[in-house]
Amino acid sequence: MVQEPNGPNGLPSPQLGVYGISVAAQLSGVGAQSLRLYEEHGLLTPDRTAGGTRRYSSDDIDRIRRIATILAAGVNLAGIGRILALEADNADLRRRLLDLGDDIGRAR
């Protein structure tokens, strides 16, 4: 997927993978090996360069921090995967509910 390299403020788009694994580890406070483990367990899917180098986005950094928070609460990686999936489903349902509310408002 081709993404705009810069957002409206001139910074990289939050979805664009621009950070290498060592920078992502430093920004998130999580070790590089843990990032690889999260990817192995399907919790994280960084972009890849043509040569296979991982590239993390700002959204990925936020997700890593969320994973670390849940992990610190004592949840295992399988549980974290389920929690993240449920959070994504919940956010999607909220968006759909807002859209339906807008549709009803326009129909009146």
State the CATH class of domain 21-107.
mainly alpha
DSSP state of 65: H
Domain ranges within the chain, ordered by starting residue: 21-107
The number of beta carbons lying within 10 Å of the beta carbon of residue 54 is: 20
Q: For position 10, what pLDDT does the model report?
A: 67
Give me 49's structure tokens. Answer: 């360069």
Task: Enumerate long-range contacts of 6-11, CB under 8 Å, 24 or more apart.
Answer: none
The pTM of the full predicted model, rounded to 2 decimals, is 0.80
Q: For position 2, what pLDDT does the model report?
A: 45
Q: For position 95, what pLDDT does the model report?
A: 95
Consecutive 10-residue runs of the chain (108 residues): their mean pLDDT?
58 86 96 97 95 95 97 98 97 94 83
DSSP state of 6: B
